[in-house]
Amino acid sequence: MLCASPLHALCLPPCSVHPPHVVCLTLCSVHPPPVLCASPFHALCLPHALCLSPCSNLNRESPNGSLLGLSVKKKKKKEVTILLPCHGDIHNNVSMQLCTHLSMVFLFFHRGLIASSFTETHYLQDGTDVSLARNYTVILGHCYYHGHVRGYSDSAVSLSTCSGLRGLIMFENETYVLEPMKNATNRYKLFPAKNLKSIWGSCGSHHNTSSLTADNVFPPPSQTWARRHKRETLKATKYVELVIVADNREFQRQGKDLEKVKQRLIEIANHVDKFYRPLNIRVVLVGVEVWNDIDKCSVSQDPFTSLHEFLDWRKMKLLPLPLLPRKSHDNAQLVSGVYFQGTIIGMAPIMSMCTAEQSGGIVMDHSDSPLGAAVTLAHELGHNFGMNHDTLERGCSCQMAAEKGGCIMNPSTGYPFPMVFSSCSRKDLETSLEKGMGMCLFNLPEVRESFGGQKCGNGFVEDGEQCDCGEPEECMNRCCNATACTLKPDAVCAHGLCCEDCQLKPAGTACRDSSNSCDLPEFCTGASPHCPANVYLHDGHPCQGVDGYCYNGICQTHEQQCVTLWGPGAKPAPGICFERVNSAGDPYGNCGKVSKSSFAKCEMRDAKCGKIQCQGGASRPVIGTNAVSIETNIPLQEGGRILCRGTHVYLGDDMPDPGLVLTGTKCADGKICLNRRCQNISVFGVHECTVQCHGRGVCNNRKNCHCEAHWAPPFCDKFGFGGSTDSGPIRQAEARQEAAELQQGAWPGPGARGIAGACVFCLTDTHL
């Protein structure tokens, strides 16, 4: 019975079979397991490479295997110890049986975890950074898995075999942890997640944030647009290109073992991606960095200061620059070995995803298991997505009971760890996406070279494949031959928003509408089944008439923020209110925090970038019971007084004050709020970019012209079909006829007649 078949099961009989302190793990060499495993036992079926000895060899080794199991009762909590020699190759699929549920757990290699552009960075003794593009398929083998338990739609499995066996088996009301034992080679333990030891902590919020959902950040859009855009944004898969950084203290806590730290960071990302999959969000790791020599920014026990230092470092050193390219990514998280003050274990700005200034967070590695940091990172990433804390007042629905972990966006966490998102988190996310947050999330990262190697049936279209709809038994795509990953006869495409009935949609067909006044629509090119990546107006472009400027694809104004805080009828107060109130440098009037407990005074020129001052609207703030009105009467020289209305919201330190003017808000003609300062929009270079469009188009965030309907990119100086080189052509109706007439000099074109030989926008392989 030793390793006689590709799959083996570890059957854990109940304690009544053996002495109460010992649980025997019996080897089942047939599949499905024998009757023994069909009773209320637990079973794990592992690949034959993990050869195990039968129960008769308990407490002694054998030539073909090793000690299987021993459980020691500790405070009425049992742990199963597994000894695995772990030799040989790992198969493409690992099956796992949980006989308690009479179900099979299917595990598949997590091929989408690591992008082909993945790099790892560490430092030499002289501080020189070393960035390597390593092939983890070769280095670590096929060792990261995701899966599920058959028959349990809410189940999930996330495992790693890179250095031993560890991971999670999650059910609706229970989660099990499998991990190596400390100071014991090839020994593992399987136990309920509620027994996992960790530090109880919070992400810095100790007050009610029940009403501070992303609904409150912007006024509601029109209902017609909201319904249409909601369907589009929620249907599309979002991709977060993530970088995880480990500070020097984390490096030391992991025994100064560079490879161990890197594997831990990748394992954290593996769990986080699993948590976000139900939200139609994929977390793709594009890089890890380890500060193995010294910290590259100040990391202290003050989480507020550490967060801002890290975000500044990310903006200045990690984000790609024209003359100093580093790492293209959407979000960066610092995993720290420093113990933060109080109970705080993480911190992140809210609704900041994709921004250069604030798309990131800090995470304290507070548990022996990577799961602890993974849950905290998922929580802080949730804040970046616009998710607020789950509180009793919000009435959130959570499928996991509180005593079994609850939901990820709980204000505080401990063991058992939460691993699912609540109804409130889903609503917050939907609302944030509808408002234009996350413009960078709609491009598909290149993952064809990632973990697991190439395989038809894995759901990823890889080199040499025309399509991939999964395994034959799960494929629902009528355009794709699942067994060969080739297109069926007469099919031109099988996947993508620009593929319909197995054929490419015509060039100019809208595939992604604009989501707000700062977004730009995308159109099918006629050459690809995929909708072009999302683009939007260049930062600093005017929006809503002359009331605002675009910033990260969103149009921010003082007026809409006043309406958000005070309801209909509210409007910005006169400038003197901003100047007087925000010069105080206290919690009620400031230009942001200097440290955890001190506030910056606003210079007069920056006053409109501090606490927002309004007039009119409701008698008290409409954003919730934890918001209070701060009213200031300012005497005027000509007599009388002016009433200034500010808002103070009782929040924790991990979330920005919603009473502060939002970054990107217009603070004067030609100026915008950045880092609590009123700065000239010339810093964005929008004018220089727009000039090249010849007055017939606008500049997008990639510094390319988006041309009006009858003008051709790249510079809108010749006749064509509109759009941009990034977003496809606008027009499709009479495109073929006009192209033919234009070549003959017959089409008059916009504003002129009889011009022959003009260029049209037409990709060489479009079907115009």
What positions carry a catalytic annotation?
Answer: 380
What whole-number distance in Å separates Cα of residue 694 and Cα of residue 709? 14
- Using alpha carbons, select from 28, 32, 74, 93 the residue that is nearest to residue 55: 28
Q: Please report, in angstroms and rounded to a whole number, the separation of the first and last CA atoms in the chain.
A: 66
In angstroms, how far is CA 577 from the centroid of its own chain? Answer: 39
Structure tokens at 341: 């003050």
Of 422, 460, 456, 424, nearest in space to 239 by CA: 460
Measure the CA–CA gap between 321 and 605, rounded to whole angstroms. Answer: 29
Reported as type and span, the H/E element at residue 382 is helix 370-384
Q: Which two tokens stand for residue 552?
A: 């990260």
Q: Are 532 and 694 in contact (CB under 8 A)?
A: no
Give 203's DSSP letter. S
Residue of 123, 126, 136 whose CA lies nearest to 317: 123
129 contacts 290 by C-beta, under 8 angstroms: no
What totals of helices (H) and strands (E) does the chain contain, helices first?
A: 12, 41
Expressed in percent and rounded to 5, the helix, strand and coil fractions of the chain are 20, 25, 55
Which residue from 497, 521, 447, 473 is spatially nearest to 282, judged by alpha carbons?
A: 447
> Was 271 annotated as part of a binding site?
no
Distance CA 558, CA 295 (A): 39
Reference 343, options 421, 252, 247, 410; nearest CA is: 410
Q: How far apart are CA 507 and CA 120, in angstroms?
A: 40
Q: Evaluate whether 425 touches 213 at the Cβ level (below 8 Å).
A: no
Q: Give CA–CA dist 286/273, Å, rounded.
A: 13
CB 86 within 8 A of CB 137: no
CB 420 within 8 A of CB 398: yes
Is residue 389 marked as binding? yes
164: helix, coil or strand?
Answer: coil
- Alpha-carbon span 132 to 715, nearest angstrom: 38
3-state secondary structure of 198: strand
Residue 694 labelled as part of a binding site: no
3 state SS of 525: coil
What is the token pair recorded at 424?
């409130």
How many C-beta atoms surround the C-beta of residue 185 within 10 A? 12
DSSP per-residue string spanning 545-603: TTTEEEETTEEE-HHHHHHHHH-TT-EEPPHHHHHHHHTS-BTTB-SSBSSSS-BPPPP
* 238-246 and 103-109 strand pairing: unpaired
Length of the chain: 768
Q: How many CA atoms lie within 13 A of 117 on its CB side?
A: 12
**Nearby residues of 753 by Cβ (< 8 Å), 6 or more positions away:** none
Task: Cite the annotated binding site for Zn(2+) by residue number.
Answer: 379, 383, 389
Task: Cite the annotated binding site by residue number.
Answer: 379, 383, 389
